Structure 1
Amino acid sequence: MRRCSRFQDDIGALIHQNRLVYGEDQTEAAHTSPRKAPDLSTYCPSHEAVLFHNIEELRAAYNTPCPLCRRVFKCIDRGDWASLKTFKAVRTVLMLEKTKGKPTLKAMLDTDPPIKSIRMTAKNPVKSTRKLNCLGEYLKGLEHQDPLVVTLQECARLENDSTGSAASLEMARFWLEECLVGHPNCARDNLGWLPTRVIDIGDADGKDPPRLLETADLPSSKSESSNTLVFVALSHCWGSKQIITTTTSTLADRKRGIDFRDLSKTFQDAVVTTHRLGLRYLWIDSLCIIQDSVDDWMKESVQMCTIYERALFTIMAAHASGGDKGCFVTRDGLAGLPLTLRFNAPDKSEAWDACFQLPDHGQGLMPKFNPVLFTRAWVLQEQFNSRAKLIFFGEQVHWECVTMSGSEQRPLDGKKIWDVIGGSMTLVADNCDDSVNDAYHGLEWYELVKNYTRRGITKSSDRLIAIDGIAQSVQTRTSDRYIAGLWAQGLPLGFMWYIPWTLAKSGPWHALEKEAKTYLSSRHEQVFAPSWYAPSQTCRPFSNLASGPGPRPRSP
């Protein structure tokens, strides 16, 4: 028997022995099917066992299909392998114990001679012979047939070598189903509508190439079915390399069919994602808007607010600086999934599943850089208006909707990327609380404007259109009136901003020049908005008034 399996059986025996499932009452324990998981946060048996006896066994864990062993291997930093060779003996110890009241799965390196490291206890740091790494914290309240447990077990069996793998998209399917079925605040009451054009990726058999579809040409019988009229939107960076577009001269060709090989890598990945999630229609701006038609651009650009709001969800290629980068990234996904361990009673009469996920400061949960997609001005509108987002960001796939956010490593309680890069988006919620005071919402709106004005945009003349799309959404959710870039209830505050032209630091200019230039504004040669309107600049304006009235939530 593998040592990782033996470790789980030992825990199961302790659970059985201590009657952690039903306390002292074992009358129902005779059932052979897996029972409700014991609450390990209350009854946590402490146990440790040697998993690997030497470095060779530890290295072999890289190629094992066992998620637990792979997770242990990933805990070792690359730089540590050389130093580990200097020890006479290196044992890898697996341990379950309570840390700050939470059952935690840990891996420890036990060496000879001892590692001169510090191990943190509940009260004071003490000298230790072990180097300690956290493998996962207990996720409370999941039963054997919980949809997340079932999904994680399925993901552990599937290919998982990239963010476009079967396992990643199985997790995406779980999030989407949870959002549609289990989130009242995410209810889609606006299905049954399609934009002017969409990409029809074809039936599930994949025999037909993608094609541009004029939705007005759909048969009336199909257009009346809200179950079929759902679409996915794509949010992406165009980049410096030319990507495939639709023009007046290529419109007819696009409607006949688009060779998959002609699509950019990002578009290909978006088509694959849409197809694997069982959906048919995809909206991509460069293909669904006629790029050399001013009339079509003006007609469709003002609908973008509605398009992203009414999409079932939006695929966001967050890390891709251009179409050649794609959504999918190669990685070791098996080592990053939450661990679902089964603890068996000694006689196999009972079994309990327990899920352990990386702590929120775990490796790979959130790359330490601002996603390039979120530096673009147009994308703020897409972020803000999308009811749900499937975000491909580095080595993780993330989900965000009105109700929850998650990542592959923390499926139910991940951090929202918006919160990580700074900001608040509660104004987007349909059920934003009327008890929240005007000052808060006013401050939130102008913080959003700050975020917007420091983002880049290819055509400066588009800057007003993009921010107006956000304002449209806020206006439908509030009782305020939007007047040429300002809110009626907070009109004075809208003028109270300035552009910093110097830094509050001392020192030679050559030491401050680079930082100072990042603060300076870009006043555009083409005048497309009044100078008092902050979004007319590419800068970071600062309000000199910290609070004030703003768009208020609409009363029910």
Structure 2
Amino acid sequence: MLHPEDSSQWELNVRIEKEPFIIEHDILIHAVPELLSPWKSVPLFDDLPTSTDSDESSDFALGALKECLGNHSLCENAPDGFLPSRLVEVLETSVRVVDTHDLDPVQTKYLALSHCWGPPETITAQLNNETYEEYTKEIPAAALPKTFKDAIAVTRKLGYRYIWIDSLCIIQHNVECWIKEGSQMCQIYENSLVTLAAASSPSGQGGLFYNSPKIEITGTIPESGQEYRLFARFNFNHRFFDYPLMNRAWVMQERLLSPRTLYFTSQELVWECRSRNVCQCSPILGGFRAQVYGFPDNSKLQPTEAHLDTSALISKWYEVVEIYTQLKLSHPGDKLMAIDGIAQYMAPMRESQHFAGKIAGA
């Protein structure tokens, strides 16, 4: 039985055991700010959309991006501009791969996608010698895995024309192309307008968008006759490393180097930039912000790191490496390449050379 004045009892743990499976959920009962609860102990949370593909979720993303572009000087992209060798051009009803040599690097804004590949068969669209000519005209919609389709839809919703997706912008099974593009990962993510992170998807078919059920609870208090209206939903998970994407070694530099990242979790959207962390369920994201790859204030690498002394920079580098070595790689041969972008970013801060994922003298 719930005791309304006991705030600890507004969160329920539901555990269902049926061999060999165990299903466990934390369910939060809450009120919304615009509807006063008769009990002061009931936690207040915003009334959230039931889908991360909703108009409300799009408004959240657009609002966070607009706020950052307009007010966060710390998050500004490099003024001289940079473009990857190729981008996916998002047209009104189709997409294609374009070479960027004719595009203005200062005026052309692009998004980037951070995702789990999963089993090879889930990445059904790859740029290679056989598909190159076709994909530069139009990528068949049927060939695109769900995560790519969703990322393209978000690009349209945010009002931009280009997105960088690794398997469509790097020629696969081409060693020369891989060495060139792989060495530019630092610039690719550092210069992206915003990186879309498919946090909850373990493969290319998982997608960005999820539905999250919400239950409305209404009734009348017998003693007073006062009506109440409460809501129940799964308690949102801010334990960062529970998400499949965050255990990928490549994602560490994608997250640290991107000035802005929009995470699509199974429950909500989360915005992270160099100046601010915020999720849909809370205006200030404490739990998420505290669990950041060894960086106490924000997980993004900051331009202000250049003002740290040598010992502090080396200490920060060791923190990065310590976490990195615990993450997963599909191809062990990528071990140095997957952290090379961070090494490139940090080496100039102490006037060091870097050698494929290593900083000289560190």
TM-score (norm 2): 0.78
- 8 Å CA contact retained: 1:179, 1:186: yes
CA 331–481 in structure 1, closer or farther in 2 if over 3 Å, else same: same
Note if 1:134 corresponds to 2:43. yes
CA 365–461 in structure 1, closer or farther in 2 if over 3 Å, else same: closer
1:474 alignment partner, SS class: helix
* Matching residue of 1:108: 39
**Aligned equivalents of 1:329 and 1:427: distance in 2?**
26
Q: Over residues 463-502 of structure 1, what are the superposed CA-to-partner deviations in whole Å (9 max), with x where a residue is unaligned?
A: 11122221001123x12414546555xx4xx5xxxxxxxx
CA 286–437 in structure 1, closer or farther in 2 if over 3 Å, else same: same
Q: Over residues 521-556 of structure 1, what are the superposed CA-to-partner deviations in whole Å (9 max), with x where a residue is unaligned?
A: xxxxxxxxxxxxxxxxxxxxxxxxxxxxxxxxxxxx
Structure 1 residue 440, shift from structure 2 partner: 3.4
* Matching residue of 1:302: 183
**Aligned equivalents of 2:293 and 2:247: distance in 1?**
12
- 8 Å CA contact retained: 1:195, 1:307: yes
Q: How does 1:434-473 map to 2 (within 5 A)?
A: 434=307, 436-473=308-345
2:55 to 149, 166, 185: 166
Q: How does 1:75-474 map to 2 (within 5 A)?
A: 77=12, 108=39, 132-136=41-45, 160-190=49-79, 192-202=81-91, 206-207=92-93, 209-216=94-101, 218=102, 223-224=103-104, 226-227=106-107, 229-242=108-121, 243=123, 244-332=125-213, 363-364=235-236, 366-367=238-239, 369-411=241-283, 413-415=284-286, 417=288, 419-420=290-291, 422-424=293-295, 428-432=301-305, 434=307, 436-474=308-346
- 8 Å CA contact retained: 1:93, 1:107: no
**Larger Rg belongs to:** 1
2:336 alignment partner, SS class: helix
**Aligned equivalents of 1:471 and 1:172: distance in 2?**
30
* Matching residue of 2:7: none
Q: What residue ranges of structure 1 are gaps of 5+ in the alignment?
A: 1-54, 56-74, 80-91, 97-104, 110-131, 137-151, 336-361, 495-556
Structure 1 residue 191, shift from structure 2 partner: 6.5
Higher relative contact order, structure no. (Cα contacts within 8 Å, ≥ 6 residues apart): 2
* Matching residue of 2:5: none
Q: What residue ranges of structure 2 are gaps of 5+ in the alignment?
A: 3-9, 15-28, 217-233
CA 265–93 in structure 1, closer or farther in 2 if over 3 Å, else same: closer
2:39 alignment partner, SS class: strand
- 8 Å CA contact retained: 1:160, 1:334: no
**Aligned equivalents of 2:31 and 2:179: distance in 1?**
61
**Aligned equivalents of 1:401 and 1:407: distance in 2?**
12
Structure 1 residue 213, shift from structure 2 partner: 1.0
1:454 alignment partner, SS class: coil
**Aligned equivalents of 1:274 and 1:394: distance in 2?**
19
Q: How does 1:17-28 map to 2 (within 5 A)?
A: none
CA 483–306 in structure 1, closer or farther in 2 if over 3 Å, else same: closer
Structure 1 residue 77, shift from structure 2 partner: 4.0
1:234 alignment partner, SS class: strand
- 8 Å CA contact retained: 1:312, 1:388: yes
Structure 1 residue 449, shift from structure 2 partner: 0.1
Q: Over residues 403-426 of structure 1, what are the superposed CA-to-partner deviations in whole Å (9 max), with x where a residue is unaligned?
A: 111101223x21474632542167
TM-score (norm 1): 0.52
**Aligned equivalents of 2:119 and 2:289: distance in 1?**
25
**Aligned equivalents of 1:213 and 1:93: distance in 2?**
48
**Aligned equivalents of 2:303 and 2:333: distance in 1?**
30
Q: Over residues 186-206 of structure 1, what are the superposed CA-to-partner deviations in whole Å (9 max), with x where a residue is unaligned?
A: 12343654211111111xxx2
- 8 Å CA contact retained: 2:32, 2:44: no
- 8 Å CA contact retained: 2:88, 2:169: yes
Structure 1 residue 445, shift from structure 2 partner: 1.3
**Aligned equivalents of 1:77 and 1:365: distance in 2?**
14
**Aligned equivalents of 2:165 and 2:248: distance in 1?**
16
